[in-house]
């Protein structure tokens, strides 16, 4: 049987990731888990992928421990596997893994479309401002 409260916490964290609310997303991590996420993200284990939706593949808890597997997708996809522990009645991430074999980066076309329009268009004036002849 699935603990609905634990599932709600997992979904809440996933929604924060989709909304790019990284402060809330990271707020679920205990300090020891932060070392793991920092190494996997900054250590070059795959691209930062903009998640547009998520699917909880697995969420189970027993007593004060739990684990979850969530697939994020959008321009590419990735899977997060997390170990959880209940600390002072709040669920917190204690272990984190983003398996590189489960990361699919965006295609070149998806990357171009995701790049903000203001950086894709270069406007050239026929004469620079203030460069008028007198």
- In the chain, where the domains are located: 4-117
Nearest by Cα to 49 from 73, 25, 30, 68: 73
Higher pLDDT, 57 or 125: 57
So what's the pLDDT on residue 45?
47
Who has greater pLDDT, 18 or 44? 18
Pick the CATH number of 4-117 from 3.30.420.40, 1.50.10.20, 3.20.20.80, 3.10.450.50: 3.10.450.50
Query: pLDDT tens-digit profile of 27-80?
Result: 999 988 877 665 554 444 445 677 899 999 999 999 999 999 999 998 778 899
pLDDT computed for residue 35 by the predictor: 73
Q: Are 3 and 61 in contact (CB under 8 A)?
A: yes
């Amino acid at each position: 049987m699935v603990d609905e409260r634990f599932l709600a916490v997992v979904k809440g964290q996933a929604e924060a990731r989709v909304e790019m609310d990284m402060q809330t997303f990271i707020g679920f991590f205990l300090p020891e888990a932060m070392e793991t996420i920092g190494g996997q993200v900054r250590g070059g284990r795959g691209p930062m992928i903009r998640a547009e939706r998520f699917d909880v593949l697995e969420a189970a808890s027993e007593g004060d421990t739990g684990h979850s597997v969530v697939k994020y997708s959008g321009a590419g996809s990735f899977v997060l596997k997390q170990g959880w522990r209940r600390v002072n009645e709040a669920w917190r991430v204690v272990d984190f893994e983003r398996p590189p074999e489960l990361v699919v980066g965006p295609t070149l076309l998806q990357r171009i479309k995701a790049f903000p329009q203001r950086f894709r268009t270069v406007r050239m004036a026929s004469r620079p401002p203030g460069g008028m002849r007198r």
